Structure 1
Amino acid sequence: MLTPIEINNRFEWVDVQDENDSEHQRLIRSYKLTEEMYGYATDPSERARIEFDKDGGISLIIFNVITDESPEQATAPVGFLFKGKRVFTFTSGDTNYVHNLVINSSSSLKLPVIEEQEPIDAILGLMYKLTTTYLDKINAIDRRRAKIQQNLKINPEHSAINELMDLETKLVYYLTSLKANTSMLQDLQRTPVVPVNDDQREHITDIVVESQQGLEMAQMASEVVERVSNAYSKLIDNNLNNTMKFLTAYSIIMTVPTIVSGFFGENVKLPFETHQFGWQITVLIMVLLGFAVYLVLRHYKFFDR
């Protein structure tokens, strides 16, 4: 879907969302985009970076954003393409929520005081919003981790390991994307593919600061989640060891009656075989020997946790 939005007399914003083949051809023929730059802008595996096609007069910024609750991955690239008096945003699937941010941003750009806005101003404003969403998501993960940690103190559950694993996976995506975004923004400061003035350069600096803050938060949250996960794994291992110790002790103690009863089950002459209370004496021997084994195991602190 192509949504052209007239911002002001300086530029037009074209929001490209899940385009089909005919819209693809329209972008190439009517808007004069190149297949190469279009491919970069729509590649779901593209890394965050800046690209410039001098012959086509096209500048491209690839920016990693948080996906809309995707179960497969937590981040995905979005393409911001500049050509002439137009700026294009390319989203698809789990990044289509960016469309609403584009519409909201374009609405605010129509205010009279923003009549002098350039395309780069619109993209920088959008990138700032997208960067702050990382901070919100990381804070939400940290709150979830704290809740899981508190529950583990009360009632350790094996299901918690899956939740912690999901949190760790998301944080890995966030860390990777924030690192790539920060590097790209720093490159944009040094060698902008789009001319920027001092105010715009300062805006880029603000986004870099937010991205670095998110990176630090994600690193700290990742370390905490990893430590909680390791502690939980150790707790599970300790519980398993205690269970195995109990089963081992139980099997050792129960082996004694089996041995005694096995002897008396043989077809040979044994003590108490003809005694009036032979069966009771045999049971007493089993109990005494079992109790003796228990005392030995207890002496060596086999039952201590």
Structure 2
Amino acid sequence: MLTPIEINNHFEWIDVQDETDAEHQRLIHSYKLTEEMYGYATDPNERARIEIDKENGISLIIFNVITDTSPETATAPVGFLFKGRRVFTFTSGDTDYVHNIVINANTVLKLPVIEEQQPIDAILGLMYKLTTTYLDKINQIDRRRAQIQKALKTNPEHSAINDLMDLETSLVYYLTSLKTNTDMLQDLQRLPVVPVNDDQREHITDIVVESQQGLEMAQMASDVVERVSNAYSNLIDNNLNNTMKFLTAYSIIMTVPTIVSGFFGENVKLPFETHPFGWQITIVIMIILGALVYAVLRHYRFFDR
């Protein structure tokens, strides 16, 4: 689907999402894009980077954004392609919210003095908004982690391991994407894809600062989640050890009556065999020996946690 958006007389913004073969051919033949740059822009596995084709006058920015629809991957690349007075945005189903921002750019991005906007201004405004989305998501993860940690203090559950694992996985994706985004933005400061003025250069710096802040927040959140996860794993292991100690101790104690009753069940002559209170005496012997084993285990602090 190709969605042209007329921002002003300076440029046209075209959003490309899940295009058909006919639309693909239109991008190549009518808009004069190259297959190589088109492939880079639509590759779901591309890392954040800058690609420039001077011969065909095409510049491409790959930028990693958060996905809202895919539980397996928390981030996905979006392509910003510059060609003459046009700028193309390549999105997918996983980044559909970016498509919605683009088609409502005038109101969502709140572009100042729309009549004077250049393609780079619109893309920088979009990248700034997408970068701040990371901060919101990381804050949500931190709040979720705090809830899990609070619940673990009163009611440890094994399901918490899965919850913490999901948080760790998301943070790994965020860390990787923010790192590559930051590197790309720093390259953009040194090598702009199009000529930029001082205000635009300052805007790029603001995005770099936000991206670095998100990177630091994600790293801290990841460290905290990892420590909580390790502490919880240690708690589970400790509880398991205590359970095994309990079962081992009482297995030893309960073995004594079995041994005594086994002796008196043999077809041989044993003490108290003909005594009128022989079975009561046998029970007393079992209790005494069991208590003795218990006392020995208690002496060596076998029951202490």
TM-score after normalising by structure 2:
0.98
Deviation larger for 197-206 or 270-279: 270-279
Where does 1:40-189 land on structure 2 (aligned, <5 Å)? 40-107=40-107, 113-189=113-189
Partner residue in 2 for 1:206? 206
The answer to whether residue 243 in structure 2 is matched with residue 243 in structure 1 is yes
Q: Distance in 2 between matches of 1:252 and 1:29?
A: 83
Compute the displacement of 1:30 (Å): 1.0
Partner residue in 1 for 2:24? 24
Structure 2 alignment gaps of length 5 or more: none
Q: Distance in 2 between matches of 1:180 and 1:110?
A: 27
Partner residue in 1 for 2:260? 260
- Contact 2:111 2:125 (8 Å CA) reproduced: no
Q: Distance in 2 between matches of 1:111 and 1:78?
A: 20
Task: Give the direction of change, closer, same or farther, for the CA distance of 1:26–1:191 in structure 2 (3 Å limit).
Answer: same
- Contact 1:256 1:290 (8 Å CA) reproduced: yes
Q: Distance in 2 between matches of 1:69 and 1:218?
A: 21
- Contact 1:68 1:95 (8 Å CA) reproduced: yes
Q: What is the aligned-residue RMSD (CA, Å)?
A: 1.3
- Contact 1:7 1:110 (8 Å CA) reproduced: no
Partner residue in 1 for 2:277? 277
- One-letter amino acid of the counterpart of residue 61, structure 1: I
Aligned length, in residue pairs: 305
Secondary structure of the 2:31 match is coil
Q: Distance in 2 between matches of 1:26 and 1:59?
A: 19
Q: Distance in 2 between matches of 1:38 and 1:192?
A: 20
- Contact 1:109 1:117 (8 Å CA) reproduced: no
Q: Distance in 2 between matches of 1:233 and 1:289?
A: 38
Secondary structure of the 1:96 match is helix
Q: Distance in 2 between matches of 1:234 and 1:266?
A: 48
Deviation larger for 72-81 or 100-109: 100-109
- Contact 2:74 2:173 (8 Å CA) reproduced: yes
Q: Distance in 2 between matches of 1:91 and 1:185?
A: 19
Q: Distance in 2 between matches of 1:199 and 1:113?
A: 14
- One-letter amino acid of the counterpart of residue 37, structure 1: M
- One-letter amino acid of the counterpart of residue 4, structure 2: P
Partner residue in 1 for 2:289? 289
Compute the displacement of 1:113 (Å): 2.4
- Contact 1:11 1:85 (8 Å CA) reproduced: yes
Q: Distance in 2 between matches of 1:26 and 1:34?
A: 11
- Contact 1:174 1:218 (8 Å CA) reproduced: yes
Q: Distance in 2 between matches of 1:27 and 1:196?
A: 26
- One-letter amino acid of the counterpart of residue 85, structure 1: R
Instruction: Quote the sequence identity (%).
Output: 87
Deviation larger for 66-75 or 80-89: 66-75
Cα deviation 1:47-99 (Å, max 9, x = unaligned): 00000011111100000000014210100100000001100000112111101
Secondary structure of the 1:94 match is helix
Task: Give the direction of change, closer, same or farther, for the CA distance of 1:37–1:300 in structure 2 (3 Å limit).
Answer: same
- Contact 1:49 1:62 (8 Å CA) reproduced: yes
